[in-house]
């Protein structure tokens, strides 16, 4: 099982990286690797649902990738791994990230990792009893949450033939490394890439949250990747399909990902407004994940607690100014104490940046609307407002922070290039 998984992963990354050849080489590889992980998650989920051994879809897809690669005669680039100075610097940054991660990480992760993500993963290793995760007695474990992360953990446990804490620990590291790689290679100016990565690595709150092994860091990675894909939106059919697939995967990570997918799709629609065929291909790319989510939500999961607990007091909450004041003050206090770099980026951008490319403006607006929706949910939450803010606000900022940082370093690059009479985006 381990060998076929490795062969599937390598052949899949080769195949998808060639499909994404319009992007920088390193970005191709992290996007291709992410597609492979999404496929593994879906294979594990449908394997459990249908009672099919996961080795069979892995073998079929491996054969498909190999046939396509052989026909195209393009397997050599995988072996072309010459280490440039830029690559060596990236490896150093990766090493620093791993070192920071291991300082905070603990077996089985934080409370949500234990009670939600790892618990769901344990159910997904049992073909006969997996639906027991939806039992009413386990309602506090949020059984309506999507299964991207639990499916990956369950797949890893199945390959290793034991439920060991090292698997979720390793899987929890992947999105952090993905964010660092994306930030480093998103700009042509590697010094700006180092700046972006450095702002992540010096942020102890971000690293600590990443080491908790929650799905929030995965969603942060998908949001940053979605922002990058919107800015660098490809125009070839196959690449647009893969873009739709990658962005839609945010819906399979957490419920908040559906909001992001809807917002980013509006941005894609605007970009492709003159080419309806390409936009249709974008939607087509997202259908596998969206259909999986609809199937999961409509057949098995109970209503989300935010919906099921809503009541007639909704209007009262909406017109209670004290709730808005509490949310505003908590937001201000938390950002000042735990996310000090965010206001700094805002001040620098507004004070010194003269060049604001339209694609970056759209991405910033999308992230701003996403954050506003997050705050709006607090207004109508059926939970105690103070408790809800204290237990979830920092995770919501964690989700959008890498995307904001990506926009910042791209804005900085454009303004530096404009100063040198050269524009990138």
- Residue 78's pLDDT is 44
**What are the CB-based long-range contacts (under 8 Å, 24+) for 238-241?**
238/19, 239/19, 239/20, 239/22, 240/272, 240/278, 240/281, 240/282, 240/285, 241/281, 241/282, 241/284, 241/285
Q: What pLDDT is attached to residue 76?
A: 46
- pTM equals 0.94
Neighbours of 283 (CB within 10 A): 16
pLDDT at residue 234, rounded to an integer: 86
Q: Answer yes or no: are the C-beta atoms of 227 and 363 closer than 8 Å.
A: yes
Q: What is the pLDDT of residue 312?
A: 59
Per-residue pLDDT tens listing for the chain (425 residues): 788 999 999 999 999 998 988 788 889 999 999 999 999 999 999 999 998 889 999 999 999 999 988 887 655 444 454 457 788 899 999 999 999 999 999 999 999 999 999 999 999 998 888 999 999 888 889 999 999 999 999 999 999 888 999 999 999 999 999 999 999 999 988 899 999 999 999 999 999 999 999 999 999 999 999 999 999 998 888 999 999 999 999 999 999 999 999 999 999 999 999 999 999 999 999 999 999 999 999 999 988 766 655 555 788 888 899 999 999 999 999 998 888 899 999 999 999 899 999 999 999 999 999 999 999 999 999 889 999 999 999 999 999 999 999 999 999 999 987 666 654 45
What pLDDT was estimated at residue 23? 84
**How many residues does the structure list for the chain?**
425
* Per-residue model confidence (pLDDT) at position 79: 42
- What is the predicted pLDDT for the residue at 148? 98
Q: Enumerate residues 6+ apart whose C-beta is below 8 A from 153.
A: 117, 118, 121, 124, 167, 168, 171
Distances (CA, A) of 376 to 140, 380, 385, 387, 392: 23, 7, 12, 16, 14
Whether residue 229 contacts residue 190, with contact meaning beta carbons closer than 8 Å, is answered with: no
């Amino acid at each position: 099982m381990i060998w076929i998984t490795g062969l599937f992963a390598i052949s899949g990354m080769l195949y998808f990286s060639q499909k994404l050849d319009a992007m920088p080489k390193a970005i191709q590889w992290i996007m291709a690797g992410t597609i492979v992980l999404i496929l593994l998650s879906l294979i594990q989920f449908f394997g459990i649902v249908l009672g099919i051994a996961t080795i069979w879809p892995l073998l079929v897809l491996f054969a498909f990738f190999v046939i396509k690669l052989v026909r195209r005669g393009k397997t050599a680039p995988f072996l072309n791994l010459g280490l440039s100075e830029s690559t060596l610097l990236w490896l150093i940054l990766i090493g620093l990230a791993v070192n920071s991660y291991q300082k905070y990480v603990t077996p089985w992760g934080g409370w949500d990792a234990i009670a939600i993500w790892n618990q769901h993963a344990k159910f997904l290793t049992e073909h006969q009893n997996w639906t027991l995760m939806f039992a009413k007695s386990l309602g506090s474990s949020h059984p309506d949450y999507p299964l991207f992360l639990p499916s990956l953990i369950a797949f890893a446990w199945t390959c290793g033939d034991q439920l060991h804490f090292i698997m979720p620990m390793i899987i929890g590291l992947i999105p952090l490394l993905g964010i660092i790689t994306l930030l480093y290679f998103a700009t042509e100016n590697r010094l700006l890439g180092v700046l972006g990565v450095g702002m992540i690595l010096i942020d102890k709150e971000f690293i600590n949250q990443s080491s908790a092994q929650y799905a929030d860091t995965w969603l942060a990675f998908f949001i940053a990747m979605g922002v990058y894909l919107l800015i660098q939106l490809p125009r070839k059919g196959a690449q647009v399909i893969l873009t739709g697939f990658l962005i839609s995967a945010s819906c399979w990570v957490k419920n908040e990902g559906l909001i992001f997918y809807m917002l980013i799709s509006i941005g894609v629609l605007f970009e492709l407004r003159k080419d309806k065929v390409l936009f249709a291909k974008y939607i087509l790319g997202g259908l596998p994940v969206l259909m999986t989510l609809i199937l999961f939500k409509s057949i098995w999961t109970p209503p989300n607690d935010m919906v099921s607990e809503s009541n007639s007091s909704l209007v009262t909450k909406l017109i209670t100014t004290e709730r808005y004041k509490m949310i505003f003050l908590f937001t201000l206090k938390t950002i000042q104490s735990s996310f000090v770099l965010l206001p700094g980026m805002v001040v620098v951008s507004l004070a010194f940046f003269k060049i604001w490319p339209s694609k970056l403006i759209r991405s910033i607006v999308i992230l701003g609307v996403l954050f506003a929706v997050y705050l709006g949910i607090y207004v109508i939450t059926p939970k105690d407002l103070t408790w809800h803010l204290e237990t979830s606000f920092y995770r919501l900022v964690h989700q959008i922070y890498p995307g904001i940082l990506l926009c910042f370093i791209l804005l900085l690059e454009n303004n530096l290039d404009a100063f040198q009479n050269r524009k990138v985006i």
